[in-house]
A and B are shown apart, each in its own frame.
Chain A
Amino acid sequence: MAITEEQLEEILAKYPSKLQKNRKKHIVINNADCGAQPIEANTRTAPGIITNRGCAYAGCKGVVLGPLKDMIHITHGPIGCAFYTWGARRNKAKSDDPTQNFINYCVSTDMQESDIVFGGEKKLAKVIDEVMENFHPKAITVSATCPVGLIGDDINAVAKAAEERHGIPVLAFSCEGYKGVSQSAGHHIANNGLMDRVIGAGDLEQASGKYPINILGEYNIGGDSWEIERILSDIGYQIVSVMTGDGSYEALKNAHVAELNLVQCHRSINYIAEMLEIKYGTPWLKVNFIGVKGTSDSLRNMAQYFGDPALIQRTEEVIAREVARIEPLMGQYKKVCEGKTAFCFVGGSRGHHYQGLFGELGIDTVLAGYEFAHRDDYEGREVIPDIKTDADSKNIPELHVEQDPNRFKLKLSPEKMAELKAKIPLSYYAGMHVDMKEGTIMVDDLNHYETEEFIKLLKPDIFASGIKDKYVVQKMGIPAKQIHSYDYSGPYAGFNGAVNFARDVSMGFASPTWNFIVPPWKEEPLLTGTVNEEGVA
């Protein structure tokens, strides 16, 4: 199953020589004998390569800000960028006050040629005024698209003036699409803005319930967050805020009162997690609510963190009940999936998380990678000091926070923290590499050409990725599962999510439609042998 270095060289030989060397650093054949295996990540994609990557705007407005439902998100730019991030990501949201749920709205300054020539600041200011007049949101975000930075519109000044006019927060994000090398830059920019302006803006000094937590890096795709919240509420946690699926300005501003921050998608939100620890003394726990084991382990780790015997016991009760309930269902799907192999190439964390769930179904992941992750997402956070920031990432500002003089509180003694760190991923992420088997492959920023070549070589039974390569793969007769949008299904997180995923993946294998690819006339010669036989006779 595994591929050799020679086979890899053969694939890369198609590239121009400079690109060959470059791509080689983004591909690792996992081999324990090699010790640490560095992989290059978060560096620019060569022009002309058909990549799955998007841009900083997509990461900022599209991923992190968009799900915040009680804010109006204004895209400052020509119409496209707003249009493509309108309802495109399945970040579901519901609200007690539907007139303050703006999740299905899309607002753009729709810059025209005259705005490019003469500047778009005045138009942006007017659009903010109209948004206030029509919607009265609690807060507004403004996200910049490529031309905004180029023509020098000062969106911060426009936002500040609007705040003074309207008395609500208006947050400006300079997330022009050309910044950084992928969506990742935009995640960072959004994290900085939310940390700087929203989190901690509330008056709450203490959470109202027991075991208050935030869930970070959970975007409620297909209702994932609701399934996670179902389980956590059942155990007894108080969920202070979710960043940012079904999230809100109202909840986020008091996120500082949580006593533990869960980090689901490490890539997109680790900045806030780190800053919350520095500013308020709240540690973060890497969780993985994808898969039965991932979910159970995460719940147990959370209980250990709080250390309350009653909580630990309740956790075990809920796990036992849920597992008993879903096991027969999972077992039935496992029969369909057992022994198959998968490619798992997704954004920033799912490329790792879904390997566990595939494994539970008896599917081996033979190739995995991320679209826009950094080295730590592959190799673990210990490599962070060794990561060299290149020119493309240097322009993403770092936000430096300090201990909040009034609100900083160590949640655990340093001794307890050290003791827990030895047992659970507290303020730590080990990355994908440790969970991958010998001979499997990690590919960073997998592109179209490599997708085709690796499929020909490894012949996976299922390809987990996104919409842009889905039909490419299916044309080859291989089921493709969208792990960004779940093919409009879900939730896939938590216990119920595992069952949904197992059902959908099994459906991909079992669908009778695959049987019709070859028409019968391709399998039977037009002239049958009888004529010839008679002729001979």
Chain B
Amino acid sequence: MLDATTKEIKERASGGVINPAKTCQPIGAMYAALGIHGCLPHSHGSQGCCSFHRMHLTRHFRDPIMASTSSFTEGASVFGGGANLKTAIKTIFQVYNPDIIAVHTTCLTETIGDDIPNIIKTSEIPEGKMVIHTNTPSYVGSHVTGFSNMTKSMVNYFAEATTPLKKEQVNIIPGFVNPGDMREIKRLTRLMNAPYIMFPDTSGVVDSPMTGEFQMYPKGGTTQPELIDTGNSKLTIALGRFASSDAAEQLDKKCKVPAVTLKAPIGIKATDALLMTLRRAFVSDVPYELEEERGQLVDIMTDTHFHFHGKKVAIFGDPDIVTGITEFVMSLGMIPVHVLTGTPGGAVGSVVGSFEEDIKELVDQAGLKANIKAAGDLFTLHQWIKNEPVDLLIGNTYGKYIARAEDLPFVRVGFPVMDRSVHSYMPIVGYRGAMRLIEMISGALLDRQDRDAADEDFELVM
């Protein structure tokens, strides 16, 4: 497996990528748009883009991912895609009848410079329907940037400050996470007695129930009135700098809703920070139910610390997720040795800081040293591991090749996970998500210990 990867690291200065740890913007925009109720994402580009994105999202969620395409031909690429998009808008409303079409661009349409707002303005849009757009040039940032851009567009198109006083409600931008995570974040917020609007919210859309009927626009998703009302909230909590900060800042600019960016609430510290923020904002104490959960988590962490303490870990994936996981494994006494994301440092023009600095700060505080890289690839990560072996690999499905090549226990977290199921329903956020992470980490390590144990060392109780 991956036998052509050598231990010797030869400098690669081209900027090319071998075995990517990111993909392109449009898929993130498509995913975010699915988090609007009654919305059909539309890919303005060649058919292949839409097909690839639907394929990948479907494989991750195992649920219908509906989206349409402008079906570019060479003619459209030369003369511009205005006619294609107008035809598409007309056809979509007539045939598929969504409330909202969310257009995102592709490298093709960004390169030829199609003016989307103008095309939308001159399109036939039925009464009461809406077309929104975001620019997602595939040659900038990553899929996380695309998610961030579509979320920001939701603010641009919908958010309105209509009340003289801000309402006692909080906007929560969950970031590029699974619907299971979104449900858990909403549960925590409800338990904190904080009225909220989560956007985007793909729960109830890409984890829809089996009923014997196909619903093109399932029950879930942030509704249009909710999106408008985000401008009246007294606070926006952006979970994750890379996926969520831009939209929160935009909401502050547009509607004067103060924004606070927190880490994705993965692990005990980040979950504490979310609850403390809500507690202060709503002067509402943490209920016993959550205090109990936290206590259970700490109980588990303590009881099982010898399963993972001191183990070396390599972590890769999307920056907000990787940051959360890194912080949590350190809370468990593990040592992050290699930490890598494919997403470049921070989106262009955004308030997002540097992934490398974030991680460095975390490991520095613990007096540790780690290989840290943004805009990295899995070829680099594999070579790092060959040079400095680890006990565990944490990342998305693509890590399985490295895990097999190096015979490493492997915990699947993030996007995409295409070779295991149920993960999109189960949270990794909050205290309960942290328990699940421990179960996965400790299970992977103990399975390995069992596998490698001699008969006489094979233990009943561990």
CB-CB contacts of A28-67 with B at 8 A, as 1s and 0s? 0000000000000000111111111111111000000000
Q: Please tell me if the beta carbons of B94 and A15 are within 8 angstroms of each other in the complex.
A: yes
Give chain A residues whose Cβ lies under 8 Å from the Cβ of B214.
Answer: 452, 472-473, 475-476
**A80 an interface residue at 8 Å Cβ cutoff?**
yes
Give residues 43-70 of B contacting A (CB, 8 Å): 45-49, 51-56, 58-59, 62-70
Q: Please tell me if the beta carbons of B24 and A83 are within 8 angstroms of each other in the complex.
A: yes
CB-CB contacts of B85-98 with A at 8 A, as 1s and 0s? 10111111011100
**A265 an interface residue at 8 Å Cβ cutoff?**
no
Q: Please tell me if the beta carbons of A475 and B210 are within 8 angstroms of each other in the complex.
A: yes
Contact of B95 among A48, A56, A182 (CB under 8 A): A48
**B384 an interface residue at 8 Å Cβ cutoff?**
no
Q: Please tell me if the beta carbons of A49 and B51 are within 8 angstroms of each other in the complex.
A: no
* Stretch binding the partner chain, chosen from B71-79, B148-156, B315-323, B355-363: B71-79
**A471 an interface residue at 8 Å Cβ cutoff?**
yes
Known: A51-B71, A53-B51, A147-B108. A517 touches B212 (CB 8 A): yes
Known: A78-B138, A133-B10. A16 touches B51 (CB 8 A): no
Give chain A residues whose Cβ lies under 8 Å from the Cβ of B280.
Answer: none
* Stretch binding the partner chain, chosen from A97-105, A227-235, A421-429: A97-105
Give residues 392-422 of B contacting A (CB, 8 Å): 398, 401
Give chain A residues whose Cβ lies under 8 Å from the Cβ of B142.
Answer: 79
Give residues 469-524 of A contacting B (CB, 8 Å): 469-477, 517-518
Q: Please tell me if the beta carbons of B91 and A55 are within 8 angstroms of each other in the complex.
A: no
**A457 an interface residue at 8 Å Cβ cutoff?**
no
Contact of B139 among A101, A102, A104, A113 (CB under 8 A): A113
**A537 an interface residue at 8 Å Cβ cutoff?**
no
Q: Measured between alpha carbons, how far is A77 from B23 in the docked complex, in Å?
A: 12
CB nearest neighbor in A for B109: A146
Known: A46-B87, A468-B55. A57 touches B111 (CB 8 A): no
CB nearest neighbor in A for B17: A110
**A310 an interface residue at 8 Å Cβ cutoff?**
no
**B454 an interface residue at 8 Å Cβ cutoff?**
no
Q: Please tell me if the beta carbons of B10 and A177 are within 8 angstroms of each other in the complex.
A: no
**B106 an interface residue at 8 Å Cβ cutoff?**
yes
* Stretch binding the partner chain, chosen from A122-130, A201-209, A251-259: A122-130
The tally of residues in B whose CB lies under 8 Å from a CB in A reads: 83
Give chain A residues whose Cβ lies under 8 Å from the Cβ of B70.
Answer: 47-48
Closest Cβ of chain B: how far from A148's Cβ, in Å? 9
Closest Cβ of chain B: how far from A454's Cβ, in Å? 13
Give chain A residues whose Cβ lies under 8 Å from the Cβ of B53.
Answer: 84
**A106 an interface residue at 8 Å Cβ cutoff?**
yes
Closest Cβ of chain B: how far from A180's Cβ, in Å? 8
**B215 an interface residue at 8 Å Cβ cutoff?**
yes
Give chain B residues whose Cβ lies under 8 Å from the Cβ of A105.
Answer: 2, 4, 18-19, 379
Give chain A residues whose Cβ lies under 8 Å from the Cβ of B367.
Answer: none
Contact of A112 among B2, B27, B140 (CB under 8 A): B140
Closest Cβ of chain A: how far from B65's Cβ, in Å? 7
**A165 an interface residue at 8 Å Cβ cutoff?**
no
**B13 an interface residue at 8 Å Cβ cutoff?**
yes
**A408 an interface residue at 8 Å Cβ cutoff?**
no
The tally of residues in A whose CB lies under 8 Å from a CB in B reads: 88
Q: Please tell me if the beta carbons of A475 and B88 are within 8 angstroms of each other in the complex.
A: no
Q: Measured between alpha carbons, how far is A392 from B77 in the docked complex, in Å?
A: 12
**B112 an interface residue at 8 Å Cβ cutoff?**
yes
Q: Please tell me if the beta carbons of A53 and B47 are within 8 angstroms of each other in the complex.
A: yes
**B14 an interface residue at 8 Å Cβ cutoff?**
yes
**B460 an interface residue at 8 Å Cβ cutoff?**
no
Q: Measured between alpha carbons, how far is A55 from B140 in the docked complex, in Å?
A: 22
Give residues 26-55 of B contacting A (CB, 8 Å): 26-27, 42, 45-49, 51-55
Give chain A residues whose Cβ lies under 8 Å from the Cβ of B110.
Answer: 116
**B213 an interface residue at 8 Å Cβ cutoff?**
yes
Known: A14-B94, A47-B71, A177-B46. A106 touches B210 (CB 8 A): no
- Which of A52, A53, A54, A146 counts the most B-chain CB atoms under 10 A from its CB? A146
Q: Please tell me if the beta carbons of A116 and B111 are within 8 angstroms of each other in the complex.
A: yes
Contact of A55 among B18, B49, B111 (CB under 8 A): B49
Q: Please tell me if the beta carbons of A57 and B4 are within 8 angstroms of each other in the complex.
A: no
**A108 an interface residue at 8 Å Cβ cutoff?**
yes
Q: Please tell me if the beta carbons of B87 and A476 are within 8 angstroms of each other in the complex.
A: no
Q: Please tell me if the beta carbons of A14 and B212 are within 8 angstroms of each other in the complex.
A: no
Known: A48-B88, A178-B72, A477-B212. A84 touches B138 (CB 8 A): no
Q: Please tell me if the beta carbons of A80 and B74 are within 8 angstroms of each other in the complex.
A: no
Closest Cβ of chain A: how far from B32's Cβ, in Å? 16
Give chain A residues whose Cβ lies under 8 Å from the Cβ of B106.
Answer: 146
Closest Cβ of chain A: how far from B21's Cβ, in Å? 10
- Which of B67, B84, B107 counts the most A-chain CB atoms under 10 A from its CB? B107
**B1 an interface residue at 8 Å Cβ cutoff?**
yes
Known: A47-B70, A130-B14. A58 touches B51 (CB 8 A): yes
Closest Cβ of chain B: how far from A481's Cβ, in Å? 15
Q: Please tell me if the beta carbons of A475 and B20 are within 8 angstroms of each other in the complex.
A: no
Q: Please tell me if the beta carbons of A101 and B64 are within 8 angstroms of each other in the complex.
A: no
**A181 an interface residue at 8 Å Cβ cutoff?**
yes
Known: A78-B24, A109-B16, A112-B139. A49 touches B91 (CB 8 A): yes
Give chain A residues whose Cβ lies under 8 Å from the Cβ of B65.
Answer: 468
Give chain B residues whose Cβ lies under 8 Å from the Cβ of A183.
Answer: 48
Give chain A residues whose Cβ lies under 8 Å from the Cβ of B13.
Answer: 126
**A395 an interface residue at 8 Å Cβ cutoff?**
yes
Q: Measured between alpha carbons, how far is A74 from B16 in the docked complex, in Å?
A: 10
Q: Please tell me if the beta carbons of A81 and B48 are within 8 angstroms of each other in the complex.
A: yes
Closest Cβ of chain B: how far from A234's Cβ, in Å? 30
Known: A78-B138, A115-B139, A130-B16. A45 touches B71 (CB 8 A): yes
Give chain B residues whose Cβ lies under 8 Å from the Cβ of A471.
Answer: 58, 62-64
8 A-B pairs besides A112-B15, A178-B72 with CB distance below 8 A are A48-B91, A51-B51, A55-B51, A115-B139, A146-B77, A178-B73, A395-B74, A448-B96
14 A-B Cβ contacts within 8 A?
Answer: A15-B94, A16-B94, A48-B88, A50-B68, A77-B138, A98-B3, A100-B4, A105-B379, A109-B15, A146-B108, A391-B75, A448-B96, A475-B215, A518-B212
Q: Which 9 A-B pairs have the closest CB atoms?
A: A55-B48, A80-B24, A48-B88, A48-B91, A126-B14, A127-B16, A177-B46, A78-B138, A98-B3
**Chain B residues within 8 Å of A, Cβ to Cβ:** 1-4, 6, 10, 12-20, 22-24, 26-27, 42, 45-49, 51-56, 58-59, 62-77, 84-85, 87-92, 94-96, 106-108, 110-112, 137-140, 142, 208, 210-215, 342, 379, 398, 401
**Chain A residues within 8 Å of B, Cβ to Cβ:** 14-16, 19, 44-58, 74, 77-84, 86, 88, 98-102, 104-113, 115-116, 123, 126-127, 129-130, 133-135, 145-147, 149-151, 176-183, 391-392, 395, 448-449, 452, 467-477, 517-518
